[in-house]
Structure 1
Amino acid sequence: MLKNTESAIVVQGLNHWFGSGEAKKQAIFDVHLEIEKGSLTVLMGPSGSGKTTVLTLMGCLRDVQEGSVKLLGNELNGSSEQTNVALRRRLGFIFQAHNLHESLTARQNVRMGVEVHGRKDRDDAYDQAAAHMLTLVGLGDRVDYLPGNLSGGQKQRVAVARALVSNPDIVMADEPTAALDKESGMNVVELLKRLGQVRGTTTVMVTHDNRILDLADRIVTLEDGAIVSDERR
């Protein structure tokens, strides 16, 4: 049974290492972070600062080695795979690589975002939800296009639609605007912001994109695996 809490994510004393033996190296150092539901939090910092590692630890994509990560009230340190799977179904993931299925249309790719969450809606409901989300990201006229007939930025917007179509509690986004022009990038982040305001969706975003910082509720900066600043807007 999954729990719920007022905070979307609570991280306390998080440490993480890569490698083993003499090659073992600490990557995350004593990170403490509490993220409120409905907020848009940006993780910034130079390459190798630990941003993506923290994101993947909070998103059940890596095992928590030391410290506490509570995701929607559920402790991830020592959690079972069953719990992790159930929690992932409440998340939406957007990665820099769009990872679309080349043999499926935009609509079919987005439909998968509903189907992998174990939803039992009718086929026409899947199609309507996928088409609606593609329209929201500006691809209403591309719903039946294969990825090979879409630009890089359009493919990334399909990936965004796929992450959002299941109405996740939390969106974990790693450089979601890197492949997008300024207007498209702003539109995607504005959509995430609106989802926070209207649906209470929480977004945690790793980015180097200074163009979208004005939309963030909070900017957390990491260097060498530790938080060096935490600015609320």
Structure 2
Amino acid sequence: MPEVLDEAPIKTSGLNHYFGTGDARIQALFNVNLEIPRGSLTILMGPSGSGKTTLLTLIGCLRVIEEGSVHLLGHELNGASEAAFVSLRRRLGFIFQAHNLHESLTATQNVLMGLQVHGTVDPKKGRDAALHILGLLGLSDRCDYLPGNLSGGQKQRVAVARALVSNPEIILADEPTAALDRESGRKVVQMLKTLGQVRGTTTVIVTHDPRILEMADRIITLEDGRIVSDDLQ
């Protein structure tokens, strides 16, 4: 199916999701309807267990859609093949609270992995891109360090660099600033906001961090699997 470029890159309609089976089956999301415009920075908030991360993983092709519709970059995910999921994931950037760095690779090599998922990469161009993004995140002097020699905040910034280096169309981030001090956290979010303004990159962030709320274009609050507020900033 061809992509419609003027269409919102993320749309959900009547989205429900469940965990468990039989008597243990629990509904995690209830009739979630969303439309997130291109280039925006949206924050998902709510208490633990409210469905924020479940929604993020459904949008990111990390879970199968059970009921309802998710349109991602013009493609319907309900009933999509694994091949379609893989193809769409390559157009996304993921930032998780658990940075998931490879301990045997340097910071630069970890960032390069964000390019290698897209296929063959020119070694020099790839390294230049990795060094550039690490420099923007204040890690120029840590490029050749292994994760074991980096602080928690530095590891998280490497994970952010890995997500951004391929210029993804959508960035999905789960607590990206949790391990960062105020200045570093705001710098990361400002980078994401700038990417939206300059390149049209769409960002969705799950967070409990009140320090970054004012930087959002929109704040959506979930409770018990339902959207209870949706505020434009």
State whether TM-score is above 0.5: yes
| 2:93 is equivalent to residue 108 of structure 1 | no
1:144 aligns with 2:182: no
What pairs with 1:70-85 in structure 2 (closer than 5 Å)?
A: 70-85=71-86
CA distance in 2, matches of 1:189, 1:172: 12
User: For 1:110, what is the secondary structure of its paired residue?
Assistant: helix
Q: Distance in 2 between matches of 1:99 and 1:173?
A: 13
8 Å contact from structure 1 (residues 45, 208) kept in 2 = yes
Residue ranges of structure 1 left out of the alignment (5+ in a row) = none
Contact 1:4 1:74 in 2 (8 A): no
Match of 2:49 in 1: 48
Which residue of 2 is the match for residue 202 of structure 1?
Answer: 202
Distance 1:117 1:142 in 2: 25
1:78-131 residue CA offsets vs partner (Å, 9 max, x unmatched): 00111100000000000000000111100000000000122x331011100100
Matched, 1:87 2:98: no
Q: What is residue 28 of structure 1 aligned with on the other side?
A: 29
Q: Which runs of 4+ in 1 moved over 6 A?
A: none
1:167 Cα deviation after fit: 0.3
Query: What's the offset of the Cα at 1:58?
Result: 0.4
Identity of aligned residues (%): 70
The alpha-carbon deviation at position 42 of structure 1 amounts to: 0.2
2:133 is aligned to 133
- Match for residue 18 of structure 2? 17
- Between the aligned partners of 2:211 and 2:81, the Cα distance in structure 1 is 39
Q: SS of 2:140's equivalent? A: coil
Unaligned runs of 5+ in 2: none
The farther-off stretch of 45-54 and 120-129 is 120-129
Change (3 A) 1:96 1:2: farther
Aligned pair 1:181/2:181, yes or no?
yes
135-144 or 222-231, which moves further after superposition?
Answer: 135-144
Per-residue CA deviation, residues 140-166 of structure 1 (Å, 9 max, x unaligned), is 111111111110000000000000000
Output the CA distance in 1 between the equivalents of 2:94 and 2:118: 12
Task: Give the Cα–Cα distance (whole angstroms) in 2 for the partners of residues 49 and 97 of structure 1.
Answer: 20
Report the equivalent of 1:172. Answer: 172
1:163 counterpart residue number: 163
CA contact (8 A) 1:14 1:29 kept: yes
Number of residue equivalences: 232
TM-score, normalization: structure 1? 0.98
- Kept in 2: contact 1:2–1:83 (CA 8 A): no
Q: 1:126 corresponds to which letter in structure 2?
A: G
Name the Cα RMSD after superposition: 0.8
2:124 partner SS: helix
SS of the aligned residue for 1:160 comes to: helix
CA distance in 1, matches of 2:149, 2:23: 48
- What corresponds to 1:121 in structure 2? 121
> What one-letter code is carried by the residue in structure 2 that aligns with 1:158?
V
Structure 2 counterpart of 1:65, which letter?
Answer: E
Letter in 2 for 1:202: T
- Structure 2 distance, partners of 1:71, 1:140, is 35
SS at match of 1:141: helix
